[in-house]
Structure 1
Amino acid sequence: MTLLSIAARLTWRKNPRVLNPSSVWAKNTPCLANPTITSLQHRYFHRNVTSFAPEGHLEATTEMERPKFWEEYKGTYHVTPPDFPFENQIPLALLGQEITTVGHLSRLVQGGPELFFATISKGAGPESIQCVLRDLESNKKLHSIRFDSAISVTGTLQQRRLPKNRRPPDPVARKGYGFLNEVEIVVKNITCLNSFGEAIPSSLNHIYPATARHLQIRFDQKLRDSLLFRSEVTKFARLELGDFHEIETPILFKSTPEGAREFLVPTRRPGFTYALPQSPQQYKQMLMASGINRYVQFARCFRDEDLRADRQPEFTQIDLEMAWTDGEGVMQRVEKFIKSLYGRFAAPETILPPLSEDPFLRMTYDEAMSKHGSDKPDLRIPGLIHRVDHLVPAQLRSMITPLEDPIIEAYKINLDEAPTPIKTFLQKFFASTEGETFAKNPDGGPGIFVHDPSKVPLEGLQAFGFEGAEAIKQFYETLSLSPTTPNNPHAETPFSNGDLLLLQARPNLPHTGGSTALGNLRRAIYKAAIAAKLIYNNPIHQYLWVTDFPMFTPENSVDPGQEGSAGFSATHHPFTAPKTAEDVDLLLTDPLKAKADHYDLVVNGVELGGGNFSHLLQALDAGCPPHAGLAIGLDRLIAVMRGVDSVRDVIAFPKNSKGRDLTVGSPRQVGEEELGRYGLCVVERKGGKDAVVESGKREGEGEGNADADAEVVERPLSESEEVWK
């Protein structure tokens, strides 16, 4: 039992004797400086038998009732420190010796009137060891201990009884080592170090809430394995990137317009704030000007943006920068790094399949948006998007869009099922919350067609008319004759029974942003079809580089922008260089046509990282060398390698979709006194929402987007409010 576990039952104030929380084996018990207390829990102490001395020390009468945990905790002072290596392989020389080990009581089986077998496990690994209890006293102690409690066991290590057809291990052949499941402990003494609380549910099938994340990690083997896998990947990455210098950059930065909303950190100096870094971009470029030719950092980054499955307000990047090179040099080094990770951790017939030895594919931004409807293409999705507005009759065009001169695109996929089940699948999909968003597209909802040869003569394409139906079928017939390419490994096919055809209109403008409406629908239909078992979920990981992004994107009312007045902002961040000399000239004549020397690493529709060839203006006068870099999202990389959809499943203590950490109850509201220390006050915004702003600012100055308004954070429930229910 640690100091914190005692604090869960009893809270202290002003210098009581407190045990060293770092170890239950400590002989000395130093006091902590100024520990404080708020209350005593009456379920452990009788009323009117405790009082606080004027100095704040705790006093108690002899009538004070000792709670069970009190004696339990005192007993930990006499526990022998553990000396047994709780690992899968153990020295056979320990057989016959008295050893002490610690762990959690996880299983109990009766083998006779006074014979019991207990199993204890330890830590995050799967290792466990069997304990044999033959005497009455040990059995009595064991039965007083709740499952999942922390215990200490002392006894003699012996060989477990083997099946008749199995021989004992040969110490010489095993080089003096055996396996943990081949030995057991004959128990002489058992001590409970910390009981598993009686108010906490304990069963194999219990699902713990997010407020008990520590129990989720402890009892969810998949979650625990993902966290351990992340640890192993991080350790390997540091070794693999040994040719880089790992240098830390500050967390307390300043507010800069980089494209996303920032988290501000107020100071006690009125009107002055820090900002948490969205990335170490500026610092790492200054390091390039400082003579640090190869930089790496496992950087914590912070962005106040709308959350989703692949986003968290705080996240980790493997941040790289290389001097005296260009984007091509960085891409080659990153490919080598990714392939080394898969070479170390991937295996056939697992959730992490090996990678191909071929170089990663390359695709321009325009090709990705035109053919895949996304700047993060998932090459596993069969079929491409094609422009077909020249094939769509005017009447059908007016049915699917209010736009006067639209671009109309088509996507066809075979779901390997008859028309009737396909229609049932589509009805369910478009009735869902996700499906409804596509129908509400202001440019017009999708046109949906299911090819059905039994419906003669137009076979489900009635809205096209005779000429239009024949034209669209001939279009796909011709496409089927085209060879496949690395960027499109799936050949188009002629219309067949049950084919799903989707039409979607969009404005007749160049591509901007990260996806099109049809690209989003294509991906959503693909995922829904996998969930409905209509198509095969291909486990392969297909990496590619997306290049030639536009340098600038027209600003809109949704994105926070970069505080400029030109009507457009940098597509990624302001430190991206033009790709060619011609693009440099376009900056003065037609900046929206200029291409950036930016490259994104994408796998299965997930953007893992982006990089650029960059120049920091302030460093140019110091002879800053040409340099390039890339930041790999570690959370997303681990999620892809573990085969999970959400980065929350690979982060120990993630935020939920509203940016809350339910385990500790953050963020929390603070009072006026605390706000006043930082020159802040609470004002009421239009619409009735409260916002925290710097005192002394003009009304409306620095006011953020309404989407950034935080909701009121409920206080954490107390134990008396039955949080486990």
Structure 2
Amino acid sequence: MQAIHVRHASNALRRLASAAGRSHAGPRPHLCPSRPLRRQPSPTAIRSLATTAAITTTNAEDSLRELLDGVTFGEYPSRTHKCGELTKANAGQSVVLTGWAQNIRKFSDTFMFLPLRDHSGTVQLVLKGSHGNEGARRTLQDLSAESVVCIEGRVVARDQATVNPRMATGDIEVEISNIQVLNKTHKSLPFQPSSQALANEEVRLKHRCLDLRRDALQKNLRNRSLAAWTIRDYLINNDFVEVETPLLFKSTPEGAREFVVPTRNSGAFYALPQSPQQYKQLLMASGIDRYFQIAKCFRDEDLRADRQPEFTQIDLEVSFGSAGDIQNLVEGLVRSVWKKLKGVELFDGQPFPRINYQVAMSRYGSDKPDTRFGLEIRHVASLTGEHVLEAIVLKSDYGLSNSELKKLAKLGAKTLPLVKISDKNAGSWLSKLPFTSEIQGQADVESVNRNLDLQIGDTVILNSRPAFLSGGQTLMGKVRLDLAAALQSKGMMELPSSQYNFLWVEGFPLFSPPENASLDTASNRLAATHHPFTAPVAEDLHLLHQQPEKVRGQHYDLVLNGVEIGGGSIRIHSPKLQTFVFEQVLKMTPLESSRFSHLIDALSFGCPPHGGLALGFDRMMAILCETPSIRDVIAFPKSASGRDLVVGSPSALTEQQLNEYKIKVQEAP
């Protein structure tokens, strides 16, 4: 309001001056004869109004200055350079810089240093002497860290003795000639973005605008932007069409829990899509041929460091393409991103390695194996009841203590047997195991020792498991990862961050038993291992009727260093086969299968064979940015409890909103 008063007061003064000028120059001639001249104010009235207007202007300007608190509001010099781009080549140049002031270092009233930071980096400003710089000196003395400033100055090269090799701009500094404060920090900061000691994550997530000023997060978001541009460029050059699909979808039984969105129509709800899966299959039926989208997806599931309720995936689908065609396209996409962001040529242009699901589970105990280290799981013997005995051998030179090994072998209520090979038991250890009576055939310890390459001092960890594997991880798979983590913490194993072990995992079972259930229980209802639209391997079609659990799917996962960063498959394009899977194999109720009627219709209208893949953009960026949490590569992530701490969501609705959407909220028990 004060600014408005100032304008009105100034206008009044201009009108008075104009009126005074007219009174001295005589009456103005009539421009319109029918309108008489207005009576001019007297000189005394003019002086009185002018005085009143001047007082009003002064009071308003004082109030405005107090409101702005010394901050420049209006025009200021245009930036000529970014802080982090100045080099010795700029020495002698006059520059205008803008950015966030850091903690000032004051050696005296006339000798001060001020680091200035913007998104490109930090440069050191210096104020020397008081001649002509009194205003700048006063401003610096009152300046708080993280205030926004505009400075004018001259770049000077530092003496060799004062060069700072830890700064990209460490061989120059900028002598300040003028400084304007564009905005002050008006509140006590919960933490300093430049501090080496990180504040609690919840505090940082709540004050994300401060946290995002950190160099690491700035770099992560810029790398994410560059990766997205590279992906779009690669796919469009390969004849893909970017198509946006709706975010207001409907609830369909695909596996994960959905977020539902109420409408004002009683009993009618949208659901946020878990992925654009069904829409992209509809696009293949529509003749788009090659589709992609950097898509937002939503799943209401428990959160971890690598999981968010809303996430981004690079989604693509191809008509008339084989699994190999799609894998080659994805390999090219990944290569282009790694080349652009890391300057790395993956596998020297050779195809990524491939491994069968059952082999991966047997050898590594995981469907997303980390192949950067050994500790492979070895077959020891076949047991009765379609079980096998498996082992991990820990060589003596790793040097883990007995107590550490026992802790690693204890998995919940189950403790795996440990055997330390010595001169005394080298020829008899196998016969003393609890599994000895179950071993099929003669227990030949010498051949087992030879196959496992056992030496005196080695430790063997053993486990019995079913011969047919399902799920994502075995007990020995967990032991293998725990052993690797223990060895890394002791400095006995190093996994370089620049090592990228990509791997295609193929040949997954098309269907899986419910968790903690056995296949021979009649009441069990099979579930789709990935999603119900995955096509079976053609050679296994005859098993669908009687032994669906043995059917392999045309599914392929892309794994990087033990993390699944993408998954895809060839889809079922036959409406009859898709209906059979829904109703006869997955045992969907009529209501459940009817929710896919739109897809069955599209397949019935002449849909081409098609397949695709989705890459987890957040996980991929976390690996590229070498951070363990995907929250570090998302601008405004949710906390571990699923809350957006910046804006305070999710939040309650008003009673009026609840009534409008016909929602009744029950009190928590």
Counterpart position of 1:49: none
The amino acid across from 2:638 in the alignment is K
Q: 1:389 to 1:672 in 2, by over 3 A?
A: farther
Counterpart position of 2:199: 208
Alignment of 1:503-582 (within 5 A): 503-506=462-465, 508=466, 510-539=468-497, 540-556=499-515, 567-580=525-538, 582=539
The amino acid across from 2:259 in the alignment is F
Counterpart position of 1:651: 634
What is the distance in 1 between the residues matched to 2:453 and 2:219? 42
Which of these residues, 613, 616, 621, is aligned with residue 570 of structure 2?
A: 613
Alignment of 1:633-672 (within 5 A): 633-672=616-655
In the TM superposition, residue 103 of structure 1 has moved relative to its aligned partner by 0.7
Counterpart position of 1:51: none
Counterpart position of 2:405: 426
What is the distance in 2 between the residues matched to 1:478 and 1:465? 21
Which of these residues, 303, 307, 313, is aligned with residue 311 of structure 1?
A: 307
Q: 1:460 to 1:152 in 2, by over 3 A?
A: farther
The secondary structure found in structure 2 opposite 1:345 is: helix
What is the distance in 1 between the residues matched to 2:398 and 2:173? 55
In the TM superposition, residue 180 of structure 1 has moved relative to its aligned partner by 9.1
In the TM superposition, residue 379 of structure 1 has moved relative to its aligned partner by 1.2
Which of these residues, 211, 221, 225, is aligned with residue 219 of structure 2?
A: 225
CA contact (8 A) 2:430 2:436 kept: no
Query: For structure 1, which segment, 366-375 or 638-647, has the greater mean C-alpha deviation from structure 2 after superposition?
Result: 638-647
Which of these residues, 446, 459, 475, is aligned with residue 474 of structure 1?
A: 446
What is the distance in 2 between the residues matched to 1:222 and 1:91? 22
CA contact (8 A) 1:448 1:500 kept: yes
Equivalent residues, number: 566
The secondary structure found in structure 2 opposite 1:366 is: helix
The secondary structure found in structure 1 opposite 2:397 is: coil
The secondary structure found in structure 2 opposite 1:241 is: helix
CA contact (8 A) 1:325 1:628 kept: yes
Which of these residues, 395, 403, 412, is aligned with residue 439 of structure 1?
A: 412
The amino acid across from 1:138 in the alignment is A
What is the distance in 2 between the residues matched to 1:185 and 1:472? 82
CA contact (8 A) 2:502 2:559 kept: yes
In the TM superposition, residue 303 of structure 1 has moved relative to its aligned partner by 1.0
Q: 1:653 to 1:358 in 2, by over 3 A?
A: same
The amino acid across from 1:193 in the alignment is N
In the TM superposition, residue 596 of structure 1 has moved relative to its aligned partner by 1.1
What is the distance in 1 between the residues matched to 2:401 and 2:277? 48
The secondary structure found in structure 2 opposite 1:132 is: strand
Which of these residues, 144, 147, 151, is aligned with residue 146 of structure 1?
A: 144
In the TM superposition, residue 359 of structure 1 has moved relative to its aligned partner by 1.6
What is the distance in 2 between the residues matched to 1:417 and 1:338? 35
Counterpart position of 2:295: 299
1:290 matched to 2:290 = no
CA contact (8 A) 1:80 1:100 kept: no
The secondary structure found in structure 2 opposite 1:341 is: helix
Counterpart position of 1:188: 178
What is the distance in 1 between the residues matched to 2:364 and 2:161? 62
The secondary structure found in structure 2 opposite 1:103 is: strand
CA contact (8 A) 2:71 2:184 kept: no
CA contact (8 A) 2:272 2:297 kept: yes
CA contact (8 A) 1:114 1:136 kept: no
CA contact (8 A) 2:111 2:126 kept: no
In the TM superposition, residue 315 of structure 1 has moved relative to its aligned partner by 0.9
The secondary structure found in structure 2 opposite 1:681 is: coil
Which of these residues, 328, 331, 339, is aligned with residue 332 of structure 1?
A: 328
What is the distance in 2 between the residues matched to 1:248 and 1:601? 24
What is the distance in 2 between the residues matched to 1:523 and 1:353? 28
After superposition, the C-alpha distances for 1:317-355 in whole angstroms (9 at most, x for unaligned) are: 0111111211110001111121222222335xxxx8954
Query: For structure 1, which segment, 275-284 or 669-678, has the greater mean C-alpha deviation from structure 2 after superposition?
Result: 669-678
Counterpart position of 1:596: 553
1:237 matched to 2:207 = no
In the TM superposition, residue 611 of structure 1 has moved relative to its aligned partner by 0.7
Counterpart position of 1:38: none
What is the distance in 2 between the residues matched to 1:355 and 1:87? 38
The secondary structure found in structure 1 opposite 2:135 is: helix
CA contact (8 A) 2:420 2:460 kept: yes
Query: For structure 1, which segment, 607-616 or 202-211, has the greater mean C-alpha deviation from structure 2 after superposition?
Result: 202-211
The secondary structure found in structure 2 opposite 1:286 is: helix
Q: 1:94 to 1:182 in 2, by over 3 A?
A: closer
Query: For structure 1, which segment, 611-620 or 156-165, has the greater mean C-alpha deviation from structure 2 after superposition?
Result: 156-165
Q: 1:325 to 1:648 in 2, by over 3 A?
A: same
CA contact (8 A) 2:220 2:632 kept: yes
What is the distance in 1 between the residues matched to 2:388 and 2:322? 37
CA contact (8 A) 1:609 1:633 kept: yes
Alignment of 1:90-109 (within 5 A): 99-109=95-105
Q: 1:120 to 1:133 in 2, by over 3 A?
A: farther
The secondary structure found in structure 1 opposite 2:270 is: strand
The amino acid across from 1:413 in the alignment is L
In the TM superposition, residue 656 of structure 1 has moved relative to its aligned partner by 2.8
Query: For structure 1, which segment, 195-204 or 263-272, has the greater mean C-alpha deviation from structure 2 after superposition?
Result: 195-204
What is the distance in 1 between the residues matched to 2:197 and 2:104? 19
Which of these residues, 370, 373, 376, is aligned with residue 381 of structure 1?
A: 373
1:414 matched to 2:371 = no
The amino acid across from 1:198 in the alignment is S
The secondary structure found in structure 1 opposite 2:178 is: strand
TM-score (structure 1 length as normaliser): 0.70
CA contact (8 A) 1:261 1:305 kept: yes
Which of these residues, 242, 245, 249, is aligned with residue 245 of structure 2?
A: 249
Q: 1:291 to 1:181 in 2, by over 3 A?
A: farther
Q: 1:140 to 1:680 in 2, by over 3 A?
A: same
Q: 1:602 to 1:646 in 2, by over 3 A?
A: same
What is the distance in 2 between the residues matched to 1:457 and 1:587? 48
| RMSD between aligned residues | 3.7
> Greater helix share, 1 or 2?
2
The amino acid across from 1:493 in the alignment is D
CA contact (8 A) 1:110 1:116 kept: yes
The secondary structure found in structure 2 opposite 1:229 is: helix
What is the distance in 2 between the residues matched to 1:511 and 1:18? 75
After superposition, the C-alpha distances for 1:267-304 in whole angstroms (9 at most, x for unaligned) are: 11111111110000011111112221111111111111
Counterpart position of 2:578: none
Counterpart position of 2:261: 265
Counterpart position of 1:719: none
In the TM superposition, residue 79 of structure 1 has moved relative to its aligned partner by 4.4
Which of these residues, 157, 161, 179, is aligned with residue 160 of structure 1?
A: 157
What is the distance in 1 between the residues matched to 2:568 and 2:2? 55
After superposition, the C-alpha distances for 1:589-634 in whole angstroms (9 at most, x for unaligned) are: 3222211111111111111111111125322333222111110001
1:119 matched to 2:115 = yes
What is the distance in 1 between the residues matched to 2:73 and 2:251? 52
CA contact (8 A) 1:76 1:193 kept: yes
